[in-house]
Amino acid sequence: MTPSETHASVAIIMLFRFTYALGMTPVEALYAVEMLPHNIRAKAQGLTQLCSTAALFASTYASPVALQNLGWKYYFVFIGLDTVWFFVIWLLYPETKGLSTLKELF
């Protein structure tokens, strides 16, 4: 990898982390819980954290191996996942614009 490719990779990673931290990190933990009735919120929060931790664990141990074998092409995996999540959120998440609370959806 040339120095310019390395710098570009670092810049792309930092840009992704910055925008993700602003937009999705707060929503990730709260959205599912706020959408559900009170009697199952704790179970939903537990399941959300379990899935998030499992994905983080898999990513932590798979990424170095994938980067070593695929090199810069491994970033296409993240581009694909981000694209899939964009459409999942766009098509399946209910619109909350103009609502003071998420409970107004139901």
Q: How far apart are CA 91 and CA 102, in angstroms?
A: 17
pLDDT at 106: 61
pLDDT at 21: 84
Q: Domain for residue 102, yes or no?
A: no
Residue 103 pLDDT greater than 70, yes or no = no
The per-residue pLDDT for 75 is 86
Higher pLDDT pick, 44 / 31:
44
| Residue 98 within any structural domain of the chain | no
pLDDT band per the 50, 70, 90 thresholds, residue 39: confident
Q: Is residue 88, in this structure, part of any structural domain at all?
A: yes
pLDDT of residue 33: 76
What is the span of the domain harbouring residue 55?
A: 3-93
The structural domain count of the chain equals: 1
Average pLDDT, integer, range 76-94: 88
Please answer whether residues 74 and 63 qualify as being in contact, where contact means their C-beta atoms are separated by less than 8 angstroms: yes
